């Protein structure tokens, strides 16, 4: 990976009000770049919940990762996990930063972090038309389980994929 690239796990480094607001500001610019990303309001709620949501046993059940290059947010991933299972909500890479291996970097770091948290299986939805994302997940050993018809706002189908880790 190139010099100046950093991974920030949330909650964590960006757990402060200032750090969280900085990430949210940049995410509001990145989210419209993807037909598959959730709304800015949804991500903002997730990040706020991420800072304070603990299960009854005191374990964090929400997890996000921000990738920065030279201090600028260029990638983001959002997960939820329940016991030994996790859901990958989305990975988003700045359109000007795509093709540099950042998606692979984010996924690799996320899998390592989720393993440490006791996760053994990850499930995700990905558009059947998103060939770059499909190739990334397949390269990491995700297997296709089924298809959800017209899952996305734009009417595209979603492939449901899983991976044991």
pLDDT tens, residue by residue, 118-147: 899 999 999 999 999 999 999 999 999 999
Active site residue 125: yes
Local confidence band at 18 (pLDDT 50, 70, 90 cut-offs): very low
Q: In which domain, by residue range, is 46 found?
A: 5-121
Residue 59 lies in a domain: yes
Active site residue 95: no
How far apart CA 134 and CA 120 sit, in angstroms, is 21
DSSP state at residue 16 = S
Residue 98 lies in a domain: yes
**What pLDDT is recorded for position 11?**
54
Residue 55 lies in a domain: yes
Candidate list 6, 21, 59, 137, residue with the active-site label = 137
Candidate list 21, 44, 95, 125, residue with the active-site label = 125
Residue 155 lies in a domain: no
How far apart CA 149 and CA 129 sit, in angstroms, is 12
How far apart CA 159 and CA 124 sit, in angstroms, is 8
Q: HEC states along 90-156?
A: EEEECCCCCCCCHHHHHHHHHHHHHHHCCCCEEEEEEECCCHHHHHHHHHCCCEEEEEECCCCCCCC
């Amino acid at each position: 990976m190139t010099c100046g690239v950093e991974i920030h796990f949330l909650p964590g480094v960006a757990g402060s009000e200032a750090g969280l607001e900085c990430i949210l500001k940049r995410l509001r610019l990145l989210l419209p770049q993807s037909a598959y990303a959730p709304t800015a309001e949804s991500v903002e709620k997730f990040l706020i919940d991420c800072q304070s949501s603990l299960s009854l046993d005191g374990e964090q059940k929400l997890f996000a990762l921000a990738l920065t290059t030279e201090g600028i947010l260029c990638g983001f991933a959002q997960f939820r996990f329940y016991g030994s299972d996790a859901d990958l909500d989305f990975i988003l890479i700045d359109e000007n930063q795509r093709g540099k291996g950042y998606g692979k970097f984010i996924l690799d770091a996320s899998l390592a972090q989720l393993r440490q948290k006791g996760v053994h299986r990850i499930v995700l939805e990905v558009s059947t038309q998103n060939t770059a994302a499909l190739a990334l997940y397949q390269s990491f050993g995700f297997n296709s389980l089924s298809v959800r018809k017209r899952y996305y706002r734009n009417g595209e189908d979603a492939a449901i994929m899983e991976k044991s880790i």
